[in-house]
Amino acid sequence: MATKQIIHGVFGDEVPMMEACKKLRASGIRVKDVFSPFPVHGLDPVIGVPRTRLAICAFIYGITGTSLATLMMWYMQIHDWPADIGGKPNWAYYFNIPAFIPITFESTVFCAAHGMALTYLLRCWLVPGAKAKNPDPRTTDDKFLVYLELNDEQAKKADAILKDNGAEEVNYKGTLYIEPAY
């Protein structure tokens, strides 16, 4: 059975923390996560977080909103009960398209924004009653925490890198048992 140690590298500032992350990655150690009190610019590529796919979701939600609004207005105002729009002919959707554009736009934005927010909240599991996942409450105040899960050999290397780059504390938070893959 393989074991991994859980290591918390605690920093007081984001600049040495970034530097430490760069060095860790350069020596082949995977940075599992970083917890910080505020968003640190440029951190994602340093610790190897892939680019967000939220934009693709937003596009799909937006297209959905456009289609829904178009379908709704076509059904209500042209098909089911042709409405008199400023005395203009209403035999087809495209005759009155300027009148439909604001609603199409609003619906697109509505669906894209709400879809994106909900996707984000669900993906991060930020739901009512969810338990806080940050390993050290000080990361919500003024500390930056590099979270690592490493085997013994890597742990020694990481320990030295963290301390050399100005980590205030390196805390060992127990071991993690990993079931071997059969």
Partner 1 sequence: MNTDKLQFTVPPKAKMASFILMAIGLISIIAMFMMDTNEDPEYNHNRAWSNIFSSAFFFMGISLAAAFFLGLQYAAEAGWATTIKRVMEAVTMYLPWGLSFLMLFFIVSQLHLNHFYVWMDPTVAEHDPIVASKMGYFGAFWWIRTVLYMIAWIWFTFKLRKNSIDADKLDIDVNNSYHWKNVKLGAWFMVVFGVTSSTSAWDWLLSIDIHWFSTLYGWYAFSGMWISAMVTITMLIVWLKKLGYLDFVTESTVHDMGKWMFAISFLWTYLYFSQFMLIWYSDIPEEVIYFQTRWESYKALMWTVLFVNFAFPMVMLMSRDSKRNFFFLIFVGTIILVGHFLDVIMMVMPGTVGHHWTGLSWMEFGTFFFFLGLFIYVVLNALTKAPLRVKNHPYINESLHHSI
Q: Which two tokens stand for residue 72?
A: 């709704």
In the complex with partner 1, which residue's Cβ is closer, 6 or 40? 40
**85 bridge partner residues:** 88
Residues in the chain: 182
Residue 6 or 57 having the CB closest to partner 1: 57
SS3 state at 4: strand
Q: Taking CB under 8 A as the rule, does residue 39 contact partner 1?
A: no
Q: Which residues of 115-140 are buried (b: 16+ CB within 10 A; e: fewer)?
A: bbeebeeeeeeeeeeeeeeeebeebe
Please answer whether residues 160 and 171 qualify as being in contact, where contact means their C-beta atoms are separated by less than 8 angstroms: no
Q: Is 109 a residue that touches partner 1 (CB under 8 A)?
A: no
Closest to partner 1 by CB, 25 vs 163, is 25
- Examine residue 99 and tell whether it contacts partner 1 (CB under 8 A): yes
Q: Does 98 bind partner 1 (CB under 8 A)?
A: yes
Angle between helices 97-123 and 54-73 (to 10 degrees): 140
- Residue pair 147/5 in contact by the 8 Å Cβ criterion: no
The residues in 111-170 that bind partner 1, with binding defined as CB under 8 A, are: none
CB of 130 to partner 1, least distance (A): 29
- Tell me which of 49, 55, 71, 109 binds partner 1, using CB under 8 A: 55
* 86 contributes a contact to partner 1 by CB under 8 A: yes
41 is a contact residue toward partner 1 (CB under 8 A):
yes
Residue 101 makes contact with partner 1 by CB under 8 A? yes
Question: Which parts of this chain interact with partner 1 (CB under 8 A)?
Answer: 41-42, 55, 85-88, 98-99, 101-102
